[in-house]
Amino acid sequence: MALMTGAEYVESLRKLGTKVYLFGELVENWVDHPIIRPSINCVAVTYDLAHDPEHSDLMTVTSNLTGKKVNRFSHLHQSTEDLRNKVKMQRLLGQKTASCFQRCVGMDAFNAVYSTTFETDSKYGTSYHENFKKYLIYVQENDLTVDGAMTDPKGDRGLSPGKQKDADLFLRIVEKRPDGIVVRGAKAHQTGSINSHEHIIMPTMAMTEDDSSYAVSFACPSDAEGLFMIYGRQSCDTRKLEDQADIDVGNKQYGGQEALVVFDNVFIPNERVFLCEEWDFAGMMVERFAGYHRQSYGGCKVGVGDVLIGAAALIADYNGANKASHVKDKLIEMTHLNETLYCCGIACSAEGYPTKAGNYQIDLLLANVCKQNVTRFPYEIVRLAEDIAGGLMVTMPSAADFRSDEKVPTASGLTVGQWCGKFFQGVASVPTENRQRLLRFIENICLGASAVGYRTESMHGAGSPQAQRIMIARQGNIEGKKALAKAIAGIKD
């Protein structure tokens, strides 16, 4: 099959029997639901840009498995150039959507599972690596979107998976059959899961032998028997349901998406199993996936940051504050922080190296430094954007008020809409509606639905700050640094 277009991708979702619950009810037509559709539009951009002559070299690549052209989101990295191009692609998509385009987790899962299965097979003589290669060829040839699922609900964080009061709080194997396994549990905070054709499941943490039934990795379709999803709420999401509310939505066309994915006794055939109770390789898979995904944030969040910086500069123009020295300085600081994030993403890519399986791994220390910065810098970028935008970003009346022809019983005889247009104007040459649209757009990125794809996700996506600090401590080689100091200071043990 050739590379799909965005329109073909949307139509392919209609053929799935995916079960989606929203506001407590099963959604019959989830593809066209106004709350869900913007996130589907975001994924569609990853397909359309693959056909754009200006960007096709970045969006597509030759598969090492088939020798055919594939979307980069289904590619196994073959060089440090591939790793850098991944980050560049993610920045581009952030610039195009100002939101989360949702395919990164699948791409990062592919590369982590590919190398881990190779090493698992080397130790145990299993056939997981061949299983996975056949599966990925299927994904590439059908140009599928795949959700990479790692995070379990976890329950009591002080207890291991096997010690939880409810054993299903970590996804687990509940039955082993000659032809496959049966799994039960859930994956939480799943980015783009509803918009995906398939899911690739990984363990959520390093395991011990006592937790071997939780050490499982596999792939399954979104409409598998026993699998359903519960859509996650976002700030201001019901604005999308209001009549003629496109201005209030802020980013009408694009948005992110998260869901709880529930597995209620789902059967997985053997050929789609990539880890089954080999608990000693769960940590490797987690560490490698986390590294790739932390690298990703040096691209996608930077692209959204580019848009937010542009919006902040534009609202300064609309407010008549663009010449103020403190505004200029804030824009410089926002740019400095954003480019620092990009530097980290490129650096961990440039320092990448081949795994035993042959695909390329990023430098884990630098990837974790990248994500640690992402837990901080976007918050400062958002603070500065809100500072420049002004309080009207969160106190402005609704679009309905601006359209209202309801006359206010005063001497002027103006309507509600006319009063809004009069008093919420900035620079006289700029239509009030333009200022209104831009303020809602900034609100959307900083506080609204896209905050999931920028601000809040910057904190918790790919692991919370402490997870990166643990890896930085592990990878930081403090003993080696002590030896450097001793050598120069002339200290001999």
pLDDT, tens digit, for every residue of 8-64?
A: 999 999 999 999 999 999 999 999 999 999 999 999 999 999 999 999 999 999 999
Q: Does residue 119 carry a pLDDT above 70?
A: yes
The strands making up 198-201's β-sheet, listed across from edge to edge, are 146-149, 198-201, 216-221, 273-276
> What is the average per-residue pLDDT within 255-283?
97
CATH pick for 6-279 out of 2.40.50.140, 2.40.110.10, 2.30.30.30, 2.40.30.10:
2.40.110.10
Contact 256, 452 (CB under 8 A): yes
Rounded distance between C-alpha atoms, residue 73 and residue 59, angstroms: 8
Catalytic, 276? Answer no
Pairing type for strands 172-177 and 180-187 reads: antiparallel
> What is the average per-residue pLDDT within 82-86?
98
> Which residue of the set 42, 220, 300, 420 is catalytic?
300
Rounded distance between C-alpha atoms, residue 270 and residue 285, angstroms: 19
Residue 452: the pLDDT is 76
Rounded distance between C-alpha atoms, residue 345 and residue 315, angstroms: 29
> What is the average per-residue pLDDT within 76-98?
98
> Which residue of the set 114, 231, 254, 297 is catalytic?
297
> Which residue of the set 42, 77, 80, 100 is catalytic?
100
What's the pLDDT tens digit per position in 383-418? 999 999 999 999 999 999 999 999 999 999 999 999
Rounded distance between C-alpha atoms, residue 275 and residue 443, angstroms: 43
Catalytic, 42? Answer no
> Which residue of the set 198, 287, 443, 457 is catalytic?
457
φ, ψ dihedrals at 15, nearest 5°: -80, -10
What's the pLDDT tens digit per position in 437-459? 999 999 999 987 776 779 888 98
Catalytic, 278? Answer no
Which residues on neighbouring strands pair with residue 237, listed in sequence order? none
Pairing type for strands 227-231 and 20-22 reads: parallel
Residue 2: the pLDDT is 82
Q: What percentage of the chain has pLDDT greater than the value 90? A: 95
Rounded distance between C-alpha atoms, residue 321 and residue 74, angstroms: 45
Residue 269: closest CA among 140, 127, 153: 127
Residue 455: the pLDDT is 83
> Which residue of the set 293, 360, 370, 454 is catalytic?
293
Catalytic, 339? Answer no
Catalytic, 293? Answer yes
Encoded amino acid at 410, one letter: T
> What is the average per-residue pLDDT within 410-432?
96
The topology (CATH level 3) of 287-479 is Butyryl-CoA Dehydrogenase, subunit A; domain 3 (1.20.140)
Residue 1: the pLDDT is 64
Residue corresponding to tokens 């019983």: 409
Rounded distance between C-alpha atoms, residue 314 and residue 202, angstroms: 43
CA 421 to chain centroid = 38
> Which residue of the set 60, 116, 151, 191 is catalytic?
191
> Which residue of the set 46, 80, 97, 104 is catalytic?
104
Provide the angle, in degrees to the nearest 10, between the axes of the packed helices 432-446 and 282-319: 160
What sign has the CA pseudo-torsion 332, 384, 365, 357?
A: negative
φ, ψ dihedrals at 60, nearest 5°: -125, 165
Rounded distance between C-alpha atoms, residue 105 and residue 60, angstroms: 17
Residue 486: the pLDDT is 96
Catalytic, 344? Answer no
Q: What is the dihedral of CA 294, 298, 299, 302, to 10 degrees?
A: 130
Residue 457: the pLDDT is 86
What sign has the CA pseudo-torsion 224, 220, 196, 66?
A: negative
Which residues on neighbouring strands pair with residue 109, listed in sequence order? none
- In the structure, what pLDDT confidence band is assigned to residue 211 with cuts at 50, 70 and 90? very high
Residue 275: closest CA among 109, 108, 132: 132
Residue 287: both structure tokens together? 């560490």
Q: Does residue 297 carry a pLDDT above 90?
A: yes
Catalytic, 191? Answer yes
Sequence-distant (6+) residues with CB within 8 A of 72 are 58, 59, 60, 61, 85, 86, 89, 107
What's the pLDDT tens digit per position in 319-368? 999 999 999 999 999 999 999 999 999 999 999 999 999 999 999 999 99
Contact 269, 180 (CB under 8 A): yes
Extents of the domains making up the chain: 6-279, 287-479
> What is the average per-residue pLDDT within 170-198?
97
